[in-house]
Chain A
């Protein structure tokens, strides 16, 4: 089966600019997650969707981050405006109805804010 697709693979922007990341989950996976991974740390959950509804966004900095999952399939994560501390890898994952097993991650987007 096709994996979780993410784009772009790399992105460099200046602080205060905006950026968007795209994720296409595995077909049939109702649950989609966005994680932020800062260098040397484990992934940190930003937001969890069940179909096109938000299940948990308690760790999402809502003053600058936003995410949507239209039609319950693809998702976009946006940062506006970006700060230097947003430099990280942004990982998208999907699973069957929130099950712990069978999480599949994409390769991530590496964001550098200069």
Chain B
């Protein structure tokens, strides 16, 4: 079973920031938080991951709370092409572990 909880769907206006929450209250000390997204008819795409510090790349920012029990993925300026299902996953960043997907959050970016 997935170790994360996400809202099933969210709306966001085009050009605004999209903030996608994820709860992972049972996260272990060696587990990272990963975010993937899946655009219709494509395989999931890796976005970003982090352990305890906030992370930023060209796609998004990841904010992890100090107790690591929750995190937020931020798309700073959402576009229509960001409409997708976003998955939050926790697992160690080494071999021998599964990447288990939950149902994710379906983000609708509206014009």
Contact, CB under 8 Å: B46 / A107:
no
Nearest-neighbor residue (CB-CB) of A98 within chain B: B95
Contact of A31 with B by CB under 8 A: yes
Interface size on B, residues (CB 8 A): 28
- Report which of B44, B87, B97, B104 forms a contact with A98, defined as CB distance below 8 A: B97
In the assembled complex, the CB of B33 is this many whole angstroms from the nearest CB of chain A, namely 10
Contact, CB under 8 Å: B98 / A48:
yes
Q: How far is the CA of A91 from the CA of B43 in the complex (A)?
A: 7
Instruction: Give the interface SS of chain B, mostly helix, strand, loop or mixed.
Output: loop
Nearest-neighbor residue (CB-CB) of B43 within chain A: A105
Contact, CB under 8 Å: A43 / B101:
yes
Nearest-neighbor residue (CB-CB) of A59 within chain B: B98
Contact, CB under 8 Å: A105 / B87:
no
Interface size on A, residues (CB 8 A): 28
Q: Which residues from A are CB-within-8-Å of B49?
A: 100-101
For window 41-56 of B, CB contacts with A under 8 Å fall at: 41-46, 49
Contact, CB under 8 Å: A31 / B95:
yes
Q: Which residues of B contact A (CB under 8 A)?
A: 2, 32, 34, 36, 41-46, 49, 85, 87, 89, 91-104
Q: Which residues of A contact B (CB under 8 A)?
A: 4, 31, 33, 35, 40-45, 48, 50, 55-56, 91, 93, 97-108
